[in-house]
A and B are shown apart, each in its own frame.
Chain A
Amino acid sequence: MASFALPGQLFGPPLNTSSVSRRRPKFAPSFSSSTPSFNCELSSSSPSSSSQNPKPLKFVTSSEPFKPLDSVSKPLAFSAAAAAILFHLSGGGIVGGNGGGGGGGGGGGDGKGGFWSRIFSPQAFAREEESSQSQEWDSHGLPANIVVQLNKLSGFKKYKVSEILFFDRRRWSTVSITEDSFHEMVSIRPGGIYTKAQLQKELETLATCGMFEKVDLEGKTNPDGTIGVTISFTESTWQSADKFRCINVGLMPQTKPIEMDPDMTDKEKMEYYRSQEKDYRRRIDRARPCLLPMSVHREVLQMLREQGKVSARMLQKIRDRVQKWYNDEGYACAQVVNFGNLNTKEVVCEVVEGDITQLVIQFQDKLGNVCEGNTQLPVIRRELPKQLRQGHVFNIEAGKQALRNINSLTLFSNIEVNPRPDEKNEGGIIVEIKLKELEQKSAEVTTEWNIVPGRNGRPTLASIQPGGTVSFEHRNIKGLNRSILGSVTASNFFNPQDDLVFKLDYVHPYVDGVYNPRNRTFRASCFNSRKLSPVFTGGPGVDEVPPIWVDRAGVKANITENFTRQSKFTYGLVMEEITTRDESSHISPTGQRVLPSGGISADGPPTTLSGTGVDRMAFAQGNITRDNTKFVNGAIVGERDVFQLDQGLGIGSKFPFFNRHQLSVTRFIQLMQVEEGAGKAPPPVLVLHGHYGGCVGDLPSYDAFTLGGPYSVRGYNMGELGAARNILELATELRIPIRNTHVYGFVEHGNDLGSSKDVKGNPTEVYRRMGHGSSYGVGVKLGLVRAEYAVDHNSGTGSLFFRFGERF
């Protein structure tokens, strides 16, 4: 038996030319019979083209090129919504034979109760037609309010259609076009202008779509010269079903319809139907199972049970439900293409899910021409979720993930991820990734002149000597995302030794090989920095303590292993020279202290281990971070644990051997379940935080743990509470969302655990600090800034702070 299908075509196969009325009786007997052998089958090739290469199954929008993914979701959604469904009821069995008899030589498919066709939603076409025909129209030239058969209309006139009504013969009711689920199959629109041929074409389409057993179109003249169109129909129905099955028919070879010889004997026909049926069975068996979950299956079954008879509307509903699930899950290319096995106990829903047949990675030059890329392909491939590889069903979320992952490589200025139909493999999808690479090398020079208050307070240039930054970057070396980055900053280029800040970084990802899923990155860097030591800070009521600057310069090499986007393990070696200086940049081996008499004595706590003001040391450094925090409507929720260790190796001044460790544990506890989604309110969050720091062995003052400050105990200055060998900080914060932001209250405590005296020279005591302290306060988040009022519990006074960033 022939299979007919009409994909992408307004016109059906030649068969459709047989009159509608002729088809009606053929359907009738088939449906009244209880034969289990009806097949409803999709075929994407029309009989007329069966001798040629089978045409690919086309998505309605497949004529348009797919857009880049970031803008693709709409077109994809559209394509899915507008997807064509092709029904093909290939007749079967005995009754089919009868039908065939009745049908005479009208064509094999027809004879078997037939084939039918398609639900098609042709907005696009309609629009096109409208635009081309919206000029002028002819009056019908007939008396008003008479019913005119389609074939009575004049072939030379352009009729304006004022309204379109559906008349359901079974229900004996009229509905407006927009209210019935069938409206999507009608391409003519109220207000449009159509010729008789167009209206006939429309009827043709409706008749062959398979939704109707019988369909007629008639006009009713209006006084103003327009006509109203009534489409009267009898909906197709089939025997009730109690089973539902969904199969993925994408990429399956199309069953080649065998032309049925009209001169076949009954026996031959039966033989033929049987083989058809067998073929279909085999097809179902061969088809891959669908992704559709059991829950949707059950839902559909429920629908089938409630309905009794399977009707065309019913099938539409099932199709909508199934496609909705696919769409909701992001399977944007999935389409229900056919319902098979109708008139048996089982409804078989055939879906083309959108299997990926190929993944193409392309590089483009600045003009968008395809070119050879510098980046090695495995670097990109390893960023792609496996769901985007060949053999998986295309999912738009996987595409977005790929886009994000590739973007995080920071190698490309433009990234497109496009799915497009595979023309060689029906129902297949080719995923195309188009990339524009960034310039590999870049260099930059920025200069600045410092302005300082001069004589009479007038602003003057500090000097004519310029300061600024010189930086260069060499990215993506060897196409493996290795990079070298260097920068030099000085406030005076003519005298750079004063305050030169330099940095040189080398990053080497994929240490274990680009094909190895283990993600380890090697980093080496030279650095220097200058910081004010919070160890040499006075307690409350202590006048200005002469500051100590800690300069560090050295090299560092480490390996970072990323477990997840946030959790990672870093280990490496650091070699550095630490120099402590006083305000006037002189090397200072001890801190200064203010004597009660007001004088300054230089015999404060020692600043370095060596006692000379310059320490050199090498040590191993490790850091493991576990972070599973995520955002729930903008509020951070989850757990974060960080353990950091500096292990002295006995290499350096005074052979420093130490174990300096810190563990910080933070919990963001969501206090209320909330619905997630854009614009929804974030939940209130309770933050619990603990931080322990300790050191065994040699501890120079610059490595002592300090208490107090915005990231330690809020409400105090940096180091105002003390500098100790072991510290414990505890904090809790309650965040309550208000409008677009949140307010919070917090309580914090920091304690030196009595270990201040174990820092050489006891800087905590020398600078009259408490060694412990608590604070509490409230605050509000204003964009990036936190405004908070914190009360220092040691003195009982409160003050207002503005801070950038988060405390935790």
Chain B
Amino acid sequence: MGFMSQTHVSMASQLIREWTGIQQFPSATQTKLLELLGKLKQDNVSTLTILVMGKGGVGKSSTVNSLIGERVVAVSAFQSEGSRPVMVSRSRAGFTLNIIDTPGLVEGGYVNDQAVEIIKRFLLNKTIDVLLYVDRLDAYRVDNLDRQVVRAITDSFGKGIWQRGVVVLTHAQLSPPDGLSYDEFFSRRSEALVKVVRLGARMKKQDSQGSLPVVLVENSGRCNKNESDEKILPNGTAWIPNLVKTIREVVSNGSKGILVDKKLIEGPNPNDRGKILIPFILAFQYFFVVKRIQRAIKNDIAKESKPMWELTSNSILSVN
């Protein structure tokens, strides 16, 4: 399997196509996107690699398709997506956009370690600029599984990846349950999810306070549109430019992209840790463990209750 993924990478890297899909967007969106790309170029960012991760069936692939403006990744509503990550690369005016769609991380109620492993191998020697952590807005509950997924991501790429993380909530066009306004529902949902992410990422309260942006997405064709034909959220924002804007903000927030190298994949080699200390450990063991036990043995010998006959020699006892 690993072998096959490798070939896929080499194939994908050769296939950088012109980003034609951008022309599918309404002109208002196009303008905004080009403006944002220009800003990125100003920041000396000519390549952007976006990693999309999340549980299965939350709309990762659809989001990728929406973002590119093409149907680049097969989406099937009922079937689990392909078990391999896919990278889509598009260039436009000297700017390259790489989006990596990944298979769902959950299988049978557990995080699929193997899927994580495959993703890691796929990402070898790539730099991740942005992580889109995708979940649905219309899920009401967060549970332990969410935390495990986040943890698996954290364990694979390190805590730092969340500096470049964006929480994407799909299926944004919904009518909230009774008695809740849309905004209220959204803020509750995002709050709960962000909390889980922070927990799963073992982020401390103080670090990166509030720096985990939450973006809403609606991939459905039935998505409402505004007068300039842009897909909009129930609050009226056009979501594609909004998403790209957020991505741009994250990229320029001062943190560094995550280079996935061998060390990151395999973790620090535990066999190398502390090796340099071995001579000291050995010395400690000799002087403080072995010597101490030896002393205790000597003590035992001295204290050993010997039978009378072993103690008496002719000279010990004398009469008056």
Chain A residues at the B interface, C-beta cutoff of 8 Å: 245-247, 288-294, 297, 329-331, 385, 387, 391-393, 395, 397-398, 563-564, 567, 569, 595-596, 601, 603, 609, 622, 624, 626, 628, 641, 643, 645, 647, 657-659, 661, 663, 696-699, 725, 757-760, 765-766
B278 touching A624, Cβ below 8 Å: no
Contacts of A603 in B (CB 8 A): 2
Measured CB to CB, the nearest residue on chain B to A663 is B289
Closest CB of chain B to A690's CB: distance in Å? 14
B78 at the interface (CB under 8 A from A): no
Most buried by A among B107, B269, B307: B307
B320 at the interface (CB under 8 A from A): yes
Taking A397-B309, A595-B114 as contacts, is the C-beta distance between A626 and B300 under 8 angstroms?
yes
Most buried by A among B267, B270, B308, B312: B270
B273 at the interface (CB under 8 A from A): yes
Residues of chain B in range 269-320 having any CB-CB distance to chain A below 8 Å: 269-271, 273-275, 277-278, 281-282, 285, 289-290, 293-294, 296-298, 300-301, 304, 307-310, 312-314, 317-320
Closest CB of chain B to A753's CB: distance in Å? 13
Contacts of B301 in A (CB 8 A): 563-564
Taking A395-B309, A647-B282, A766-B113 as contacts, is the C-beta distance between A297 and B297 under 8 angstroms?
no
Contacts of A563 in B (CB 8 A): 297-298, 301
Contacts of B112 in A (CB 8 A): 596
Give the complex CA separation of A495 and B190 in angstroms. Answer: 69
Give the complex CA separation of A601 and B301 in angstroms. Answer: 57
A387 touching B278, Cβ below 8 Å: no
B94 at the interface (CB under 8 A from A): no
Give the complex CA separation of A331 and B313 in angstroms. Answer: 12
| Interchain residue pairs A-B with the least CB separation, the first 9 | A758-B270, A395-B309, A289-B318, A628-B300, A696-B274, A698-B271, A567-B297, A659-B278, A289-B319
A760 touching B319, Cβ below 8 Å: no
Query: Per a CB cutoff under 8 Å, which of A395, A659, A699, A760 touches B282?
Result: A659
B108 at the interface (CB under 8 A from A): yes
Query: Per a CB cutoff under 8 Å, which of A330, A569, A658, A661 touches B309?
Result: A330
B267 touching A626, Cβ below 8 Å: no
Give the complex CA separation of A697 and B289 in angstroms. Answer: 20
Contacts of A699 in B (CB 8 A): 270-271
B285 touching A329, Cβ below 8 Å: no
B314 touching A288, Cβ below 8 Å: yes
Query: Per a CB cutoff under 8 Å, which of A291, A292, A697 touches B278?
Result: A697
A397 touching B319, Cβ below 8 Å: no
Give the complex CA separation of A698 and B273 in angstroms. Answer: 9
Closest CB of chain A to B262's CB: distance in Å? 14
Give the complex CA separation of A330 and B293 in angstroms. Answer: 35
B317 touching A293, Cβ below 8 Å: yes
A247 touching B290, Cβ below 8 Å: no
Count of chain B residues near A, Cβ 8 A: 41
28 contacts between A and B (CB under 8 A): A246-B319, A289-B318, A290-B317, A291-B312, A291-B317, A329-B309, A331-B309, A385-B310, A387-B310, A392-B314, A393-B314, A397-B307, A398-B310, A563-B301, A564-B301, A569-B290, A596-B107, A601-B1, A609-B271, A628-B304, A657-B278, A658-B278, A659-B278, A659-B285, A696-B275, A698-B271, A725-B270, A765-B113
Contact with A along B198-237 (1 / 0, CB 8 A): 0000000000000000000000000000000000000000
Measured CB to CB, the nearest residue on chain B to A564 is B301
Give the complex CA separation of A392 and B1 in angstroms. Answer: 83
Contacts of A385 in B (CB 8 A): 310
Chief secondary structure at chain A's binding surface: mixed
Give the complex CA separation of A385 and B309 in angstroms. Answer: 10
Contacts of B298 in A (CB 8 A): 563
B290 touching A760, Cβ below 8 Å: no
Contacts of A757 in B (CB 8 A): 267, 270
B296 touching A641, Cβ below 8 Å: yes
Query: Per a CB cutoff under 8 Å, which of A626, A657, A663 touches B297?
Result: A626
A643 touching B294, Cβ below 8 Å: no
Give the complex CA separation of A759 and B307 in angstroms. Answer: 51
Residues of chain B in range 104-145 having any CB-CB distance to chain A below 8 Å: 107-108, 110, 112-114
A391 touching B314, Cβ below 8 Å: yes
Contact with A along B1-44 (1 / 0, CB 8 A): 11000000000000000000000000000000000000000000
A697 touching B318, Cβ below 8 Å: no
Contacts of A297 in B (CB 8 A): 319-320
Give the complex CA separation of A601 and B282 in angstroms. Answer: 40
Contacts of B290 in A (CB 8 A): 569, 622, 624, 643
Taking A290-B319, A292-B319, A596-B108 as contacts, is the C-beta distance between A759 and B281 under 8 angstroms?
no
Contacts of B319 in A (CB 8 A): 245-247, 289-290, 292, 297
Contacts of A626 in B (CB 8 A): 293, 296-297, 300
A569 touching B294, Cβ below 8 Å: yes
Extra A-B contacts (9), CB below 8 Å, given A596-B112, A647-B278, A758-B273: A245-B320, A290-B319, A292-B317, A331-B309, A392-B313, A643-B290, A697-B274, A759-B270, A760-B271
Measured CB to CB, the nearest residue on chain B to A620 is B282
Give the complex CA separation of A643 and B289 in angstroms. Answer: 8
Measured CB to CB, the nearest residue on chain B to A568 is B297
Taking A760-B270, A760-B271 as contacts, is the C-beta distance between A289 and B282 under 8 angstroms?
no
Most buried by B among A392, A659, A661, A757: A659
Closest CB of chain A to B273's CB: distance in Å? 7
B300 touching A564, Cβ below 8 Å: yes
Measured CB to CB, the nearest residue on chain B to A628 is B300
Contacts of B2 in A (CB 8 A): 603
Closest CB of chain B to A291's CB: distance in Å? 5
Measured CB to CB, the nearest residue on chain A to B267 is A757
Closest CB of chain B to A595's CB: distance in Å? 7
Residues of chain B in range 230-283 having any CB-CB distance to chain A below 8 Å: 267, 269-271, 273-275, 277-278, 281-282
Contacts of A725 in B (CB 8 A): 270
A696 touching B277, Cβ below 8 Å: yes
Measured CB to CB, the nearest residue on chain A to B279 is A659
Closest CB of chain B to A330's CB: distance in Å? 5
Give the complex CA separation of A696 and B112 in angstroms. Answer: 30
A601 touching B293, Cβ below 8 Å: no
Give the complex CA separation of A758 and B273 in angstroms. Answer: 9
Give the complex CA separation of A608 and B267 in angstroms. Answer: 18
B309 touching A398, Cβ below 8 Å: yes
B297 touching A697, Cβ below 8 Å: no
Give the complex CA separation of A757 and B159 in angstroms. Answer: 17
Give the complex CA separation of A699 and B273 in angstroms. Answer: 11
Give the complex CA separation of A697 and B319 in angstroms. Answer: 65
Give the complex CA separation of A385 and B270 in angstroms. Answer: 54
Most buried by A among B108, B269, B271, B304: B271
Contact with A along B82-115 (1 / 0, CB 8 A): 0000000000000000000000000110101110
Query: Per a CB cutoff under 8 Å, which of B274, B294, B307, B320 touches A624?
Result: B294
Give the complex CA separation of A293 and B316 in angstroms. Answer: 10
Contacts of B282 in A (CB 8 A): 645, 647, 659
Contacts of A659 in B (CB 8 A): 278, 281-282, 285
Give the complex CA separation of A699 and B274 in angstroms. Answer: 12
B274 touching A387, Cβ below 8 Å: no
Contacts of B309 in A (CB 8 A): 329-331, 387, 395, 397-398
Closest CB of chain B to A606's CB: distance in Å? 11
Contacts of A329 in B (CB 8 A): 308-309
Closest CB of chain A to B278's CB: distance in Å? 5
Taking A289-B317, A397-B307, A624-B290 as contacts, is the C-beta distance between A567 and B300 under 8 angstroms?
yes
Closest CB of chain B to A545's CB: distance in Å? 15
Contacts of A759 in B (CB 8 A): 270
Give the complex CA separation of A289 and B289 in angstroms. Answer: 46
Query: Per a CB cutoff under 8 Å, which of B114, B285, B318 touches A661?
Result: B285
Closest CB of chain A to B114's CB: distance in Å? 7
Measured CB to CB, the nearest residue on chain A to B83 is A597
Contacts of A288 in B (CB 8 A): 314
A696 touching B294, Cβ below 8 Å: no
Closest CB of chain A to B1's CB: distance in Å? 8
